[in-house]
Structure 1
Amino acid sequence: MGRSKITVVGAGFVGGTIAQRLVETDSYDVVLLDVVEGLPQGKALDLSEASPICGFEPRIVGTNRFDDTADSSLVVVVAGVPRKPGMSRDQLLETNTRIVRAVVRDIVARSPLAIILMVTNPLDAMTYVAYQVSQFPKQRIVGMAGVLDSIRFRTFIANELNVSVDNVQAIVLGCHGDSMVPLVRYTTVAGRPIEEWISKDTLQALVKRTRKGGGEIVSLLKTGSAYYAPAASVVEMVEAILKDQKKILPAAALCEGEYGIHNLFAGVPVKFGSHGVEEIVVFDLTPEEQVALEHSVNAVRAQCQKVDQLLGCQA
């Protein structure tokens, strides 16, 4: 049985690290694509030269041509611009809608059976763009955010308690941003509820830190944003899909009534398999958790209304 072909669109820090983690699994043929000439080719060559030591076959190609991505099983889209000083959220939304629209059209033309995994921000809205432009079934469009937010929460808890991260189970729902909803009630350490381990005030501080997790890294780096943890999160999702693991992970998926959310991409627990999103797993939420989730989703709803206007203007 041949290897699955994975394309990563965007060869910056996040895309390049995703490509590295993928080739090091020694399971896939990887195409790294970027509009900047030489950038994907250089990174692909550098990764290939690491293969004798790292123990993988150098199955990676760097390119500026979408034709080289043809017949991909899965495409990870990282292409887009970060929010820059002085740039409004609407300007970021407009710029990245235009970029993602063009990228998705090129993907669809060459890999009509692919699963598209979105990473570009604003994440939930860009996943909606990919869905609208591709016209793919909802199972084949998904966004990465919940995995990243959840592993940040798990890391902060483990550090606070000085226990292994493997002992901590946590899940974060809602949109990727300040209104995300860590489900404290379902958070456990070695099977025991988190409230038995940490005071309420400390727990709320960890929740707040999780919501600001990306911003904390940006403030430390000064000129950049996170890429190691986002890349690891993407690869966990890729493996769950292409290895048909049936793993349940939080991700941005199209809700059609689940959690009271209709026709929007929102961060929810998803069972992943070879077809992509195989099931949205519904947790029982308290009234307070439901209100928090609805508040989180409202921000996405407003962005998607703006996206509809932008796509109409660009048609």
Structure 2
Amino acid sequence: MGSKITIIGAGSVGATIAYTLSGENIASEIVMIDINKEKVQGEVMDIEQGTCFRDPISIVCGDYEDAKDSDIVIITSGIARKPGQTRIELTQTNVNILKSITPEIVKAAPNAIYIIVSNPVDIMTYVFTKISGLPERQIIGSGTILDTARLKFALSDHFGVAQKNIHAYVFGEHGDSSFIPWSGAYISGVSVDEFYELMKARGKDIEAVDKEAMLTYVQKSGGKIIANKGATFYAVSRSVCQICARVAASSDSIATVSSMMHGEYGIEDVCLSTLTILGPNGIQGKLPMRMKKEEIEKLKASADTLKSVIAQIEW
């Protein structure tokens, strides 16, 4: 028996999440909610017509009350980022949308695990945490799970090694103040720098990783995709479905998702991404990773960047 998953927002990201989930064995029931009913009805019809190739699944266009007994609620509502626009510039508009949604959905599904995807995701996760009244373990921001996926792809492409062998992460804001803690970047138990030396010694034609260029690739990929095709939705949808799978699993796992900080690395009262333990009971805490002093300072700087935006929000 799969999970009941409600998706709020039927834009490109919400619809693609629904489509991706329809091909997985995570959900047995999907409820899609959006102010634009015709759009939802069209998305539901398009998606459900391809479900004959899998075990039975229910996909419906619903209202907030239809979210009752949801195991997971995914919030994607908000204005999409325009070419050249930063995530931070979206803040007030999308915060206002979230404030209108929150009481309705929390009333309908008070026990669900909530996955916040709307941008700027760290701010939205913080606001939802503050206004929802839900236990913090039930609130997961998609955070830098997508940034981490981009990093793993880039390292895999650079070294010609399978992504599943790469353990490297992006910490901080899902945005321009993010950073890569290279002290915790490994390829099958070998540091990235050591792996380069080992492959070089074996005669592989390979260059050392340009770490600044790698970070730029991670940070600017979204903007490049938006400039080229107008929106990003495939990779983020796969990332969100991965969070759903981990929440629906029988045991905990580790992911770079955004949640409230309570003194970890000397940071409090802000949501950002570090290694986080999550599973069927939601967030179970942070996994402290040994970092260099300068890396911790970068994490603190990212937190300060987010706090400066939070301070400007009209609640």
Q: Which residue of 1 aligns with 2:20?
A: 21
- Structure 1 letter corresponding to 2:302: S
Structure 1 segment 1-315 matched on structure 2, within 5 A: 3-28=2-27, 29-53=29-53, 55-63=54-62, 65-84=63-82, 92-198=90-196, 202-221=210-229, 224-307=230-313, 310-311=314-315
Q: Would the aligned equivalents of 2:88 and 2:120 in 1 still touch at CA under 8 Å?
A: no
* TM superposition shift of 1:23: 2.1
Instruction: Report the 3-state secondary structure (helix = DSSP H, G, I; strand = E; otherwise coil) of the residue aligned with 1:7.
Output: strand
C-alpha distance in structure 1 between counterparts of 2:238 and 2:139, whole Å: 19
Instruction: Report the 3-state secondary structure (helix = DSSP H, G, I; strand = E; otherwise coil) of the residue aligned with 1:181.
Output: coil
Instruction: Report the 3-state secondary structure (helix = DSSP H, G, I; strand = E; otherwise coil) of the residue aligned with 2:70.
Output: coil
Instruction: Report the 3-state secondary structure (helix = DSSP H, G, I; strand = E; otherwise coil) of the residue aligned with 1:75.
Output: strand
Instruction: Report the 3-state secondary structure (helix = DSSP H, G, I; strand = E; otherwise coil) of the residue aligned with 2:13.
Output: helix
* TM superposition shift of 1:287: 0.8
- Structure 1 letter corresponding to 2:178: M
Percent of aligned pairs with the same amino acid: 29
Unaligned runs of 5+ in 1: none
- Structure 2 letter corresponding to 1:192: V
C-alpha distance in structure 2 between counterparts of 1:227 and 1:83, whole Å: 12
TM superposition score normalised by structure 1: 0.91
Q: Would the aligned equivalents of 2:257 and 2:276 in 1 still touch at CA under 8 Å?
A: yes
- Structure 1 letter corresponding to 2:307: R
Instruction: Report the 3-state secondary structure (helix = DSSP H, G, I; strand = E; otherwise coil) of the residue aligned with 2:210.
Output: helix
* TM superposition shift of 1:88: 7.8
Check 1:85–1:248 CA distance in 2 against 1; reply closer, same or farther (3 A cut): closer
Runs of 4+ in structure 1 displaced over 6 angstroms?
A: 85-90
* TM superposition shift of 1:89: 6.5
C-alpha distance in structure 1 between counterparts of 2:87 and 2:188, whole Å: 40
C-alpha distance in structure 1 between counterparts of 2:153 and 2:146, whole Å: 11
* TM superposition shift of 1:90: 6.5
C-alpha distance in structure 2 between counterparts of 1:153 and 1:246, whole Å: 23
C-alpha distance in structure 2 between counterparts of 1:184 and 1:41, whole Å: 46
Cα RMSD after superposing both structures: 1.8
C-alpha distance in structure 2 between counterparts of 1:157 and 1:23, whole Å: 30
Q: Would the aligned equivalents of 1:172 and 1:182 in 2 still touch at CA under 8 Å?
A: yes
Q: Higher relative contact order at CA 8 Å, sep ≥6: structure 1 or structure 2? A: 2
Q: Would the aligned equivalents of 1:23 and 1:59 in 2 still touch at CA under 8 Å?
A: no
C-alpha distance in structure 1 between counterparts of 2:292 and 2:26, whole Å: 42
Check 1:88–1:194 CA distance in 2 against 1; reply closer, same or farther (3 A cut): closer
TM superposition score normalised by structure 2: 0.91
* TM superposition shift of 1:37: 2.0
